[in-house]
Amino acid sequence: MAKERVYLFDTTLRDGAQTNGVDFTLADKLAIAGMLDELGIDYVEGGYPGANPTDTELFGSDHKLKATFTAFGMTRRPGRSASNDPGLAALLAAKADAICFVAKSWDYHVRVALETTLEENIASIRDSVRAAKASGREVLLDCEHFFDGYKTNPQYALACAKAAYDEGARWVVLCDTNGGTLPNEVETIVGEVVKTIPGDHVGIHAHNDTEQAVANSFAAVRAGARQIQGTLNGLGERCGNANLVSIIPTLKLKAEFADRFDTSISDAALQKLAHVSYALDERLNRAPNRHAPYVGASAFATKAGIHASAIAKDPATYEHVLPETVGNRRKVLVSEQAGKSNVLAELERIGIKVDKDDPRISSLLDLVKERETIGYAYEAANASFELLARRTLGKVPNYFDVEQFDVNVEQRYNALAQRVTVAMAVVKVKIDGETLISAAEGNGPVNALDQALRKDLGKYQDYIKGLKLTDYRVRILNAGTEAVTRVLIESEDEAGDSWTTVGVSPNIIDASFQALMDSIIFKLVKSGAPA
Ligand SMILES: [Zn+2]
């Protein structure tokens, strides 16, 4: 029997942007959309054009995504015509493949919050869906407060959904906006809805206020819904949205769903899931949740003991799925063997061939453990790990020595009598016995140091010409007087390749210097610069 299709709709960039403390830049949005597209998500909702400058800019240009790029916005305002509503006009002008409208479906909200009649709200849904269809877009309708509305006035909630479906909306999405609905209620209500609207046109948008957004999403699918909306790592307002990072592997790996449904996520893409989850947290400068299902660092970690010895005999004894299927790793804590296999797998991935019994592997493992204890994060800093590995295995030339550097920050009045802060750095580098001294100003001490360091590297200058820093992130690791600073630097070169390096020190300049040096040396190794 042919499998049915369940569609995945990601709203990390729209609903996820409501997360307390999250503020996406345009670059963040583009990078995250790219990750989602690589993963193979069906729909990527980019934001709310017209609502803020970032989203307006995002929807101002074309994006070459395989996913259906979706703009979000409101249906026409009550009392206005569809052709005379600036909000709707902005939405129709957005460069997007699909438009997802949000409309009220709870009669109480229509009267109290929208201050209009129940009929006018339905007319607004009809007109807006019609206008978006006429513009050639695929149309979705998010029915806000659908479940709460359904409980008090099922006829009206359903009439809102039906109006959109009748006008040709591809999807009618039932939203548990306040997040308080329980799985059995979701299953019952969705079961009723699909008697009127075919399930392959019904979506679920669950919030996590009782920590059951994932369970509610599956309850809806059981009852017949065929689109799940959610966010990466469950980002979202209050307690978050349904977490796609948990939903995707459950759909793909658990027989109840895997036997019945196809998704757009390939097995190969599933293996990138842990990385995508981690990369999102790094981009947001949030500490990843070690205990996140499937993808957390501890999701397949077992302390040495009876569990560990059973896992060594057969992993299935204490694991519900194989960690590799989601790109995670089995970790048996305090076990030399497990750590060694992690390192060997990593070396193979970056193309370093080494015998598995080579004693230098143990030295590298010790070094990684020792350095991670003091704050280095090699999982995030792929280039620093590669350099550490190559150095331990004796394969990195000593291109140059930084003999000395000096960074100076000065606050003073400029000619316009404004207080300005100016940073200047001087770097003394020795290459082939020759000393080169460079000085540079920057908008801050790290910027000045970076400029000076890369100003004159003699015969290596050509190799680093195309190198640029694309991101700089700082985290203070442990509070109090013991605090150390971890700096992660993301770099890019002319080939479009990017890599991340790490530095750790009680001194932020020193930590930055380490990460900058690693980035330059990694680029020289990558380019095959001669020693
Ligand atoms: Zn929402």
- Report how far residue 291's alpha carbon sits from residue 475's, in angstroms, rounded to the nearest whole number: 20
Taking the centre of ligand 1 as the mean of its atom positions, its distance from the CA of residue 147, in whole angstroms, is 13
- Report how far residue 488's alpha carbon sits from residue 471's, in angstroms, rounded to the nearest whole number: 8
Taking the centre of ligand 1 as the mean of its atom positions, its distance from the CA of residue 177, in whole angstroms, is 6
Taking the centre of ligand 1 as the mean of its atom positions, its distance from the CA of residue 455, in whole angstroms, is 49
Taking the centre of ligand 1 as the mean of its atom positions, its distance from the CA of residue 412, in whole angstroms, is 49
Neighbours of ion ligand 1 (CB under 5 A): 15
Taking the centre of ligand 1 as the mean of its atom positions, its distance from the CA of residue 207, in whole angstroms, is 6
Taking the centre of ligand 1 as the mean of its atom positions, its distance from the CA of residue 94, in whole angstroms, is 21
Taking the centre of ligand 1 as the mean of its atom positions, its distance from the CA of residue 445, in whole angstroms, is 42
- C-alpha distances (whole Å) from 436 to each of 110, 405, 453, 458 are 72, 12, 10, 8
Beta strands in 177-258 (DSSP E): 202-206, 227-230
End-to-end CA distance of the chain: 62
Taking the centre of ligand 1 as the mean of its atom positions, its distance from the CA of residue 230, in whole angstroms, is 9
Taking the centre of ligand 1 as the mean of its atom positions, its distance from the CA of residue 101, in whole angstroms, is 12
Taking the centre of ligand 1 as the mean of its atom positions, its distance from the CA of residue 128, in whole angstroms, is 20
Cβ neighbours for 92, distance < 8 A, ≥ 6 positions apart: 99, 131, 132, 135, 137
Residue written as token pair 């796609």: 244
Taking the centre of ligand 1 as the mean of its atom positions, its distance from the CA of residue 97, in whole angstroms, is 20
Q: What is the pLDDT of residue 335?
A: 46
- C-alpha distances (whole Å) from 305 to each of 83, 333, 335 are 69, 10, 10
Taking the centre of ligand 1 as the mean of its atom positions, its distance from the CA of residue 240, in whole angstroms, is 9
Q: What is the pLDDT of residue 337?
A: 57
Taking the centre of ligand 1 as the mean of its atom positions, its distance from the CA of residue 243, in whole angstroms, is 12
Contact status, residue 125 vs residue 160, Cβ threshold 8 Å: yes
Taking the centre of ligand 1 as the mean of its atom positions, its distance from the CA of residue 244, in whole angstroms, is 14
Identify the segments of the chain with pLDDT beneath 70: 303-309, 312, 332-338, 479-481
Taking the centre of ligand 1 as the mean of its atom positions, its distance from the CA of residue 234, in whole angstroms, is 11
Taking the centre of ligand 1 as the mean of its atom positions, its distance from the CA of residue 149, in whole angstroms, is 15
Contact status, residue 85 vs residue 54, Cβ threshold 8 Å: no
Taking the centre of ligand 1 as the mean of its atom positions, its distance from the CA of residue 486, in whole angstroms, is 34
- Report how far residue 148's alpha carbon sits from residue 363's, in angstroms, rounded to the nearest whole number: 60
Taking the centre of ligand 1 as the mean of its atom positions, its distance from the CA of residue 182, in whole angstroms, is 16
Closest CA to 15 of 28, 24, 26, 27: 24
Taking the centre of ligand 1 as the mean of its atom positions, its distance from the CA of residue 169, in whole angstroms, is 19
Point out which residues pair with 99 in neighbouring strands.
Answer: 71, 139
Taking the centre of ligand 1 as the mean of its atom positions, its distance from the CA of residue 271, in whole angstroms, is 28
- Report how far residue 308's alpha carbon sits from residue 296's, in angstroms, rounded to the nearest whole number: 18
Query: Can you spell out the DSSP letters for 60-108?
Result: TS----SSEEEEEEEPPPTTS-GGG-HHHHHHHHS--SEEEEEEE--HH
Taking the centre of ligand 1 as the mean of its atom positions, its distance from the CA of residue 214, in whole angstroms, is 14
Taking the centre of ligand 1 as the mean of its atom positions, its distance from the CA of residue 241, in whole angstroms, is 7
Taking the centre of ligand 1 as the mean of its atom positions, its distance from the CA of residue 64, in whole angstroms, is 26
Q: What is the pLDDT of residue 411?
A: 93
Q: Is 374 helix (H, G, I), strand (E, B) or coil?
A: coil
Taking the centre of ligand 1 as the mean of its atom positions, its distance from the CA of residue 115, in whole angstroms, is 22
Taking the centre of ligand 1 as the mean of its atom positions, its distance from the CA of residue 27, in whole angstroms, is 23
